[in-house]
Structure 1
């Protein structure tokens, strides 16, 4: 089984932006990337296992579908393997992959009507005391309302909104990932917030 094929079984646990890696890990990434570009399958497999869970979590957030997210990450690693000669050594491998996955997901969203599943939206945090059935039902209804509201966002708005509101990325990073200006990224997030606010007015 190739390192690409093994990436399909990666778990989506925890979330840390790739740039949060320490200097030692980034240096290790650079060494592994250099070896992988020379045809070292084992080195690339280590990169897949190191960054796969983070990227799978990102793709799931963007697409709202675990199965589609797995496909997107798989295809992104295949693309990265083929494009390793293009990789700039002064860039972080994790950031490069983050950009590839983000754009892969954006293409998927553009090809279909965006739908977010309830599993991709965090449930409201439970109170320390037991929540009443009525409050629990209200929480589920709010989550469902948000799911429906997300459908009205354009793929571009959705990607920028998730990167900002869910992943907490700064606007300059979002602009770099999507290939737009910071002003455009801010505009897309603003419009997405406005549309979601209007759609969720009953839950304020």
Structure 2
């Protein structure tokens, strides 16, 4: 139990890199914890518990992804692999999350709310596009630009901190 609790923040950060919302992260983390608990007798003492738990979490995230595969927010397999590699660099995750929160706070409220809305569980972007009065393709472009702006802000913020 102590090992699960000790590695939970690292696994939570890893999962946030793979999943679209914190609700998804909570759901997958809970399932991964249950699987780890059941499989604990299989864990080889002397090996890295964190890596073992991250592997379980990754497989649980993939299972979760298959369940939600019909939503337009699901990434292709190659993108998942890339996200998994990047997300496994756990030491950068708390810093990245901190910069993400700062950059989200800097965005105009309407744009931030729109971006967060499309990344909420169970949301269909087509429905939000219709509600906003935009054509679907135009709406996707707006979201793409907002994401690019957010990524640029995070990159600049991190590079400034590392100077």
TM-score by length of 1: 0.40
RCO comparison, higher one (Cα < 8 Å, 6+)? 2
Please identify which structure carries the higher helix content.
Answer: 2
Larger C-alpha radius of gyration, 1 or 2?
1
